[in-house]
């Protein structure tokens, strides 16, 4: 919770800082934000590999938290560098370059630390549970629920507090508080050092030639390709411990003589996750809409609570966090025990069933968003506001609350389910990389969303009419985009359900 408070204390209002104190254009600022978020989303893959290969999760947490705190400290310092506006033009330019340079160094130092800290901390927490113990196995599933509860609480708090401090008091104070929060996070983590179960996987298994998981998997694929003309013999099949898994990727059995049965099974386990990962990318695209187009919708609507109080459009994102915070206890304490009594599964339902349920709820969220947008456009037409982009559409912003809340509830199913799935179904030695794959879904989803918007913008603006994403939202068609996402999510849902029927879950070891 403390770490997410720190991270979103920077990320949630970054666009405002770029266009404000750094005086960047909207296009350049958006590009810089997307680039930073994308980098932060991919770095867990790098740090997950490092942790699984030789450094271990605990040591990786210590190293990356140091980068994290240094970056936040440097970011706070950059906000104190004054903007000199004297008569000497060269002097002003020099100071501006220093401020921008220090700011970007701090920003990417934060990304470097955050990428390793979040993936290893979550994995290290799950490592504390013994999967062979029935009681602890149930507790581990509950752990992922309450982990996401803590994350959402941290995000909700920082959006209420830090954004106000940054815009109304001081940017230096607004960045200094997240720095202190990250220091608190590391302090709290170190308090439990005497009670942790350490599971550093730097040592090689007997017969392994490489520590790096990517090298091992690549070695299996190359060996299988070289021996592609050979038919796996019965002797080769006997070397493989899991017959069900072996049948799924039979072509890799050709590599068992060169690489060993463990490395072949490891490669099969990772490959079996790829179809789920690819289907989940659509959810990553949907995930990127709440801070962009949902917020843009709200900015055109009536946001006044009283004659003097107007709700910022971005504040409505708090309803996602509220939906998560309120629904997780219901899910964990009511839904799971009831369903468990019928299914006799520790978590009530399987992780893929949980993921597919969340994707179904995201479809409902997109359909709701499309219907609300259609109503908003109708109200704008009825009031003659089609050619008035700056006018407030006389429709309460509260109409957007259901789509935010639905999205928050879908998060409880999908995001927590993905987290538990990628942790539990990957070999023990690769669990940091497993959670890194889960985290990359959101990063790549954001990139795909940006790509789709660019392509659709170009295609629809050539027809001579307003594009789907016209600057004048009263002439645009965000509803078409939401319907498109609902259709893509429906296709993803069908594939996930199909994969769930045939997927063979890895037994705890």
- Please check the confidence at residue 204 and state whether its pLDDT lies above 50: no
- Please check the confidence at residue 1 and state whether its pLDDT lies above 80: yes
- Please check the confidence at residue 380 and state whether its pLDDT lies above 60: yes
Which pLDDT score is estimated for 507?
63
67 C-beta neighbours (distance < 10 Å), count: 19
Q: What percent of the chain has pLDDT over 90?
A: 21
3-state secondary structure of 362: helix
DSSP 400: G
Which pLDDT score is estimated for 161?
83
The pLDDT tens digits for 298-352 are 888 888 877 777 777 777 888 888 888 888 888 888 888 898 888 888 777 888 9
> Which of the four pLDDT bands, split at 50, 70 and 90, describes residue 360?
very high
Which pLDDT score is estimated for 200?
47
* Residue 22 neighbours by CB under 8 Å, 6+ apart: 29, 99, 100, 103
- Please check the confidence at residue 226 and state whether its pLDDT lies above 80: no
Report the half-sphere exposure of 22 (CA within 13 A, side-chain side).
Answer: 25
Which of residues 449 and 183 earns the better pLDDT score? 183
- In terms of phi and psi (left: phi > 0; alpha: psi -120 to 50; beta: otherwise), the region of 461 is alpha
Distance CA 16, CA 135 (A): 47
Which pLDDT score is estimated for 405?
92
* Residue 81 neighbours by CB under 8 Å, 6+ apart: 95, 98, 99, 102
The pLDDT tens digits for 458-468 are 888 776 677 78
- Please check the confidence at residue 150 and state whether its pLDDT lies above 50: yes
**Is 407:247 a contact under the CB 8 Å cutoff?**
no
Q: Which of 197-211, 274-288, 434-448 has the lowest mean pLDDT?
A: 197-211
The pLDDT tens digits for 405-427 are 999 899 889 988 898 888 888 87
Output the CA torsion 32→149→436→455 (10° steps). -40
Which pLDDT score is estimated for 402?
92
Q: How far is CA 433 from CA 143, 390, 439, 454, in A?
A: 19, 47, 10, 31
- Please check the confidence at residue 90 and state whether its pLDDT lies above 70: no
Q: Report yes or no on whether pTM surpasses 0.85.
A: no
Which pLDDT score is estimated for 321?
85
168 C-beta neighbours (distance < 10 Å), count: 8
Q: Per-residue pLDDT averaged across 286-297, rounded?
A: 78
Which pLDDT score is estimated for 25?
62
- Please check the confidence at residue 445 and state whether its pLDDT lies above 90: no
- Please check the confidence at residue 235 and state whether its pLDDT lies above 50: no
Which pLDDT score is estimated for 410?
92
Which pLDDT score is estimated for 494?
94
Which of residues 224 and 241 earns the better pLDDT score? 224
- Whole-number mean pLDDT of the chain? 80
- Please check the confidence at residue 140 and state whether its pLDDT lies above 90: no
Q: Per-residue pLDDT averaged across 382-406, rounded?
A: 86
Output the CA torsion 365→329→61→34 (10° steps). 20
Which pLDDT score is estimated for 294?
80
């Amino acid at each position: 919770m403390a770490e997410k408070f720190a991270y979103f204390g920077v990320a949630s209002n970054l666009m405002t800082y770029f266009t404000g104190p750094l005086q960047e254009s909207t296009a350049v600022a958006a590009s810089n934000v997307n680039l930073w978020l994308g980098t932060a989303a991919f770095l867990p893959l790098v740090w997950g590999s490092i942790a699984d290969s030789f450094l271990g999760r605990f040591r990786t947490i210590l190293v990356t938290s140091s980068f994290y705190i240094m970056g936040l400290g440097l970011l706070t310092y950059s906000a104190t560098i004054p903007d000199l506006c004297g008569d000497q033009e060269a002097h002003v330019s020099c100071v501006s370059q220093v401020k921008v340079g220090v700011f970007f160094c701090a920003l990417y130092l934060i990304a470097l630390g955050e990428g390793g800290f979040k993936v290893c901390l979550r994995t290290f927490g799950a490592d504390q549970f013994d999967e062979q113990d029935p009681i602890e196995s149930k507790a581990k599933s509950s752990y992922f629920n309450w982990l996401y509860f803590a994350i959402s609480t941290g995000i909700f708090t920082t959006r209420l507090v830090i954004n106000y401090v940054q815009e109304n008091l001081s940017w230096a104070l607004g960045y200094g508080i997240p720095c202190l929060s990250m220091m608190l996070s590391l302090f709290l983590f170190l308090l439990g050092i005497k009670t942790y179960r350490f599971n550093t996987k730097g040592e090689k298994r007997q017969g392994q030639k490489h520590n790096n998981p990517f090298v091992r998997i690549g070695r299996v694929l190359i060996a299988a390709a070289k021996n592609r003309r050979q038919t796996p013999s019965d002797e080769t099949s006997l070397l493989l411990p899991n017959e069900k898994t072996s049948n799924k990727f039979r072509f890799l059995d050709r590599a068992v003589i060169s690489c060993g049965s463990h490395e072949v099974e490891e490669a099969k386990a990772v490959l079996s996750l790829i179809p789920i990962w690819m289907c989940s990318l659509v959810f990553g695209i949907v995930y990127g809409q709440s801070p962009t187009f949902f917020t843009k919708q709200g900015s055109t609507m009536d946001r006044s609570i009283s004659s003097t109080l107007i709700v910022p459009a971005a504040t409505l994102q708090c309803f996602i966090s509220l939906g998560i915070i309120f629904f997780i206890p219901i899910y964990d304490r009511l839904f799971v025990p009831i369903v468990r009594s019928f299914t006799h599964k520790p978590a009530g339902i399987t992780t893929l069933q949980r993921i597919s349920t969340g994707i179904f709820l995201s479809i409902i969220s997109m359909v709701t968003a499309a219907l609300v947008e259609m109503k908003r456009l109708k109200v704008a037409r009825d009031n003659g506001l089609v050619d008035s982009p700056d006018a407030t559409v006389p429709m309460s912003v509260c109409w957007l609350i259901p789509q935010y809340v639905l999205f928050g509830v879908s998060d409880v199913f999908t995001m927590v389910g993905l987290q538990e799935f990628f942790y539990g179904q990957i070999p023990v030695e690769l669990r940091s990389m497993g959670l890194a794959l889960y985290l990359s879904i959101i990063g790549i989803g954001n990139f795909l969303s940006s790509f789709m918007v660019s392509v659709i913008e170009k295609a629809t603006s050539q027809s001579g009419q307003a594009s789907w994403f016209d600057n004048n939202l009263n002439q645009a068609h965000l509803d078409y985009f939401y319907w498109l996402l609902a259709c893509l999510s429906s296709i993803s849902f069908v594939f996930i359900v199909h994969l769930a029927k045939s997927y063979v879950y890895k037994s705890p070891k």
